[in-house]
Chain A
Amino acid sequence: MRAWLYLIAAAVAGAIVTTPAIFVLLLMGGSFEDATVASLATLMLAAGLAVVTMRDIIRCGLAMIVCFLALAGLYVALGAPMVAAAQVIVYIGAISVLILFAIMLTQDKAAPSRLVFQTQAAPAAVAAIVLAVLVAVAAAGTDWGAVGELVGAATTDIALHLFDQYVLAFEAVSVLLLAAVIGGVFLAKRERDA
C-alpha cells in the first residue's frame, strides 16, 4: 500500500517537472534549452513551495536540497558552471547537511508541531504574492542594458577578478568565516557546570 503511494507521488512529481518542458517545446515552439530551463524553473519553484508549506520539517529540508539542485542546473543554463559547482558543494554539501543536523537536534517526537503556520500566514501570503508581482513588473519595465544572448564568463576570468579586483572582499570573507566558525562553536557548546 505504502509503495503504491510512493509510486503515485513519484509519477506526479515527474509530471509536474516534464509538463512545462513539453508545453514549451511543442506549443510555444521553444528550443531544447527553453524546455530545460522551464522544467528546472518549475522544479525549483515547486520544491521551494514544498519547503515553506510542508508539515514534516525533515521533508522540508530534503525539498530544500532539491530546490538548490534545480538552481544549480539553472546556473549551468546561465553559463556559470563555476557558480553551479560552488552551489552544489556549499549549499547541498555543507549548508543543507548543517540544517538537517540542526533539525534532528531540535525536534522532539513527543510534541509534533501540529500547527505549522503562524496566525499571520494569510496576510503573509498576500504580501509575498504582491512582492512577486512587483518584482516581475519592475524587472519587465526596466532597461537593464542586457543583450539577448549569454555572455558566460570563463573560470579563468572569474579567478583573475576574484584575486585582483575583489581581493579585499575575499580576505574579509575569510575573516568572516573564521569568526563564524568560532562563534558557532561558542554558541552551540554545552556550558560546563562551574
Chain B
Amino acid sequence: MGIADQLNTYLTLAGMLFAIGTFGFLARRNAISMLMSIELMLNAVNLAVVAFGAFVPDLKDDGAVIALMVMAVAAAEAVVGLAIVIAIFRNRKTPLVDEYDAMRR
C-alpha cells in the first residue's frame, strides 16, 4: 500500500502544516503575517477533514461539506481580520503587533 492511499499520510501532513502555521502565528511580528499563519492553520484543518471524508466511509459526503463551510468561515474571518488590521494601521502607523502597546502603558 503506497503513501497516497493511507489516511495517516494526510493527517501527518495536516499536522505539519498546522505546526508551521502555529510557529508563524507565535513568532512573526507583522499582524498580516499572523493572519496568513492563521489561514495556513485553517487549511491544515481542512486537509484533515477532507482526508477523513476520503477514507472513512461513514463520513463520505460530510467531509467535503464541512470543508466548504470552513472555507466560507475562513473568508469571513479574513475580511474582518484584515479590516481590523487596516483600521489599527490607520491609527498607529505600524503593522507590527509588538508596537500595539497602548493598553500596557
Q: Does B associate with A?
A: yes
Complex alpha-carbon distance, A79 and B61, angstroms = 11
Name which residue of chain A comes closest to B15, CB basis.
Answer: A135
Chain A: number of interface residues, binned into ranges: 35 or more
Q: Given contacts A118-B98, A135-B15, are A151 and B57 in contact (CB under 8 A)?
A: yes
Complex alpha-carbon distance, A116 and B61, angstroms = 42
Q: List 24 A-B contacts (CB under 8 A).
A: A37-B9, A51-B40, A80-B67, A87-B71, A91-B71, A94-B75, A117-B28, A118-B28, A118-B98, A132-B16, A135-B19, A144-B7, A144-B56, A146-B7, A148-B1, A162-B68, A166-B69, A169-B69, A173-B72, A173-B73, A177-B76, A179-B76, A186-B83, A187-B86
Residues in B neighbouring A181, C-beta threshold 8 A: 79
Residues in B neighbouring A150, C-beta threshold 8 A: 5, 54-55
Complex alpha-carbon distance, A144 and B29, angstroms = 38
Residues in B neighbouring A186, C-beta threshold 8 A: 83
Residues in A neighbouring B43, C-beta threshold 8 A: 67-68, 71, 91
**B37, A52: Cβ atoms under 8 Å?**
yes
**A78, B72: Cβ atoms under 8 Å?**
no
Asked if B100 lies at the interface with its beta carbon under 8 angstroms from chain A, I say no
**A151, B16: Cβ atoms under 8 Å?**
no
B64 to chain A, nearest CB (A): 5
Q: What are the nearest 4 A-B pairs in CB distance? A: A135-B15, A52-B24, A180-B76, A124-B26
